[in-house]
Structure 1
Amino acid sequence: MDEGLTIDKVLNNNVVIAKHPSYEEVVLIGKGIGFGKKKGDFASFNKADKTFLLSSEKEKEQYVNLLPYIDEDFIDFMNDILYHIETRMGQELNEHIHVALTDHLAFAISRSQKSMQFNNPFLPEIESLYPKEYQVAMEVVTMVYDKMRIHFPEGEIGFIALHIHSAVTDKTLREINRHNQLITTLVQLVEETMEVTIDRHSVDYHRLVQHLHRAVDRVDQEENTRDEIRLANMLKQEYPVCYNLAWKLIKVMQKQLNKPVDESEAIYLTIHLHRLTYKS
């Protein structure tokens, strides 16, 4: 990776633009990578030194445009944060997290310093759907506090977890948020129809959210499950309230995702809803 890497421009002590034989122009982000360097000098790319490469033209341009608004020491700190996330998640992160999370955390720190707080209405869903990302996000919040003595509100954990999930799955935040909003709508419909309030910290809630998430993913990826007409007819007769509610949920999914839902999803949803009703 280092072969042929030469510095074209030093943006600050921690960020340089370099020439690469394969990617042409790249952005190198690393602690002290630009210190004492000038155009034409050799640039080293080494993961052990917490150095990251931006080869995407879009991410490179956005990152360079973001730099003037970010403190240089914070760029160094972001390197530590991103290296920690990558290590804990056990995989390389999509390049877009360098722009997205740097921008988000810088703004979140500014908000906290001005005592401005944003609520995160999807916090329970995020914690249930992405437990590992949520745990790592809590560690990031702790890192920020230890380094800067800034205490983030709980909602920020959810936002950071979404950025992490986006970076390890290559899904956009918009797509992830769209699914989370849909799942929240579906859970509310279950509660309203069954006249129950589901404890957001209960195992039942976790199971329901996970099941709805898998169902939404199957629909979005246009996966078809097997046709089980006899079982569907039996469930329709035995548990009509749950079966009808299952179809209400399916219709909401179809409308929001603008895709057909396989009829057998009604079977799985009915069984799950019956379990929930029986416990309630």
Structure 2
Amino acid sequence: MIIQKVINNNIIASVDEAGCEIIVMGRGLGFGVKAGQSVDEKKVEKIFRMETEEETNQLADLLNEVPIERVEITNEIIDYANTVIETELNKTIYITLTDHINFAIERYQQNIQFANQLCWEIKRFYPKEYKIGQKAVELLSDRLDLNLVEDEAASIAMHFVNAELKSGRIEQTVQITKIIQNSLTIVKYHYRIELDETSLDYARFVTHMKFFAQRMLNGTKVENLDDKFCMLIERQYPNDYKCAGKIADYIFKEYGYQVPDEEKMYLTLHIKRVVLRK
């Protein structure tokens, strides 16, 4: 591995076997060395392979600014997340989370802490991601003696939800969370019941709504269903179909999106399951 560029004492740029640019991190890795020399592989702690040149440059710039101990903690959080979340994470998580952790530390040092208005929803809808957020807060407390509030765990969790959805924008994740919350409220009011938030069907409904909302916001369509099948679902589960229609009306009113019949059918089936035992 040959050094292409020394970014700072701990970060260098190189290329892998396929000729793709990589960012290599290790304490003292860039100290006293120059481009063209071999990388001391004994000092290598982490190799970053991003999807695009732009992302590689963004990460390099960020790592040049952030103290290495904060980068190391971020990497440890992401490594832990990979043992909790089964979905492959968007590699931009290394950029977004590093930047967030660095900013959170700076805010704490200035005695500035923000409330996360979606903290309650995040804990309910994304328990795995929230668990990662709690682990992150614990690591920051242990390593850097920070006493961060619960809202910070929720904010960190949102970055992982975003990385799972591959949306690339935290704003979209916030929208998706609101769509899930409002859709659940519609279901509860329609049937005048409380849902069992510990049930598998509840988790399936939340997951369905998460990816439905992502498809809606990204303009992605599901496969077409047979018209006879759609009519059968509508006739067999009229009350559940009516509830799905209320959600579709809310979606159209708030986002101007006309929910396709196929999406209504899938939504009807998930509603039927989540309220079946009530």
**What TM-score do the two structures reach when normalised by structure 1?**
0.75
Question: Which deviations, in whole Å up to 9, do the C-alpha atoms of 1:121-180 show, x marking residues without a partner?
Answer: 333443344333322222122111110111222222222223223334533234333321
The size of the alignment, in residue pairs, is 268
1:209 aligns with 2:206: yes
Whether the 8 Å CA contact 2:3–2:13 is kept in 1: the answer is: yes
1:178 aligns with 2:179: no
1:166 aligns with 2:165: no
Whether the 8 Å CA contact 2:13–2:23 is kept in 1: the answer is: yes
Give the equivalent residue in structure 1 for 2:235. Answer: 233
Unaligned 5+ segments in structure 1 are none
Give the equivalent residue in structure 1 for 2:265. Answer: 264
Q: Distance in 1 between matches of 2:151 and 2:196?
A: 15
Give the equivalent residue in structure 2 for 1:246. Answer: 244
1:154 aligns with 2:155: no
Q: Distance in 2 between matches of 1:274 and 1:200?
A: 9
Q: Distance in 1 between matches of 2:257 and 2:272?
A: 25
Q: Distance in 2 between matches of 1:80 and 1:30?
A: 14
Give the equivalent residue in structure 2 for 1:135. Answer: 131
For residue 29 of structure 2, give the secondary structure of its aligned residue in structure 1: coil
Q: Distance in 2 between matches of 1:48 and 1:199?
A: 50
For residue 222 of structure 1, give the secondary structure of its aligned residue in structure 2: coil
Q: Distance in 1 between matches of 2:205 and 2:88?
A: 30
- Aligned-residue sequence identity (percent) comes to 26
For residue 43 of structure 1, give the secondary structure of its aligned residue in structure 2: coil
For residue 3 of structure 2, give the secondary structure of its aligned residue in structure 1: strand
Amino acid across the alignment from 1:37: V
Q: Deviation at 1:91?
A: 7.5
Question: Which deviations, in whole Å up to 9, do the C-alpha atoms of 1:108-128 show, x marking residues without a partner?
Answer: 122223332323233344334
Give the equivalent residue in structure 1 for 2:103. Answer: 107
Per the alignment, do residues 211 and 10 of structure 1 end up closer, same or farther by CA in structure 2, a change over 3 Å counting?
closer
Unaligned 5+ segments in structure 2 are none
For residue 40 of structure 1, give the secondary structure of its aligned residue in structure 2: coil
The answer to which of 253-262 and 101-110 deviates more is 253-262
Whether the 8 Å CA contact 2:16–2:22 is kept in 1: the answer is: yes
Which of the numbers 184, 187, 190 marks the counterpart of 1:187? Answer: 184
Q: Distance in 2 between matches of 1:46 and 1:98?
A: 23
Q: Distance in 1 between matches of 2:34 and 2:60?
A: 18
